[in-house]
Amino acid sequence: MTQSRQLAEDLRRAVGQLVRSTKQSAASMPAAEGAVLGLLDRDGPQSIAELAQARGVRHQSAAKTVKDLTAAGLVSAEAHPTDGRKLLVHITEPGRTALDEDRRCRADVLENAIEEELTAHERRELRRGIELLKRLSAQIRP
């Protein structure tokens, strides 16, 4: 295994564990709901098919998530402007508020861990690591 491959595997595992730990500790909303709200917040209104594709799930799974979010008042759906067979899903203000709260809770968990665990030097290293992760993300995006 090359050094780059080993680094890639270590990074994948560490980031995955960080995300899982943060979500569990923050008592966040269900992952599917948070993912759909996040997509709608970042990318704007989308059809259920677009949401399914973006999340890499079946149309039926995305439709169920949208149904649950609609029932909770976190999204709304209307007829697609160019294809009446489709629905266009929008995040609502309560949905944006719930998403913001979920993000705030996860950031609080990370903030507490950073304050309790990292020295000032390690915090500077983490800042540098974040910049490197941003560069990698920009390189990988389709």
Distance CA 88, CA 47 (A): 5
| Least confidently predicted of 26-30, 67-71, 79-83, 133-137 | 26-30
- For residue 35, being part of any structural domain is answered with yes
- For residue 1, being part of any structural domain is answered with no
Strands across the sheet containing 75-79? 46-47, 87-91, 75-79
Please tell me the total count of domains within the chain.
1
What is the residue range of 125's domain? 26-140
| CATH code of the domain covering residue 105 | 1.10.10.10
- For residue 11, being part of any structural domain is answered with no
- For residue 15, being part of any structural domain is answered with no
pLDDT at residue number 24:
80
pLDDT at residue number 124:
96
Q: Which two tokens stand for residue 6?
A: 């080993």
Considering Cα of 40, then 45, then 48, then 53, what sign does the dihedral take? Answer: negative
User: Which range is most confident: 15-24, 86-95, 132-141?
Assistant: 86-95
Is residue 37 scored above 90 in pLDDT? yes
pLDDT band at 27 (very low <50, low <70, confident <90, very high): low
- For residue 114, being part of any structural domain is answered with yes
- For residue 102, being part of any structural domain is answered with yes
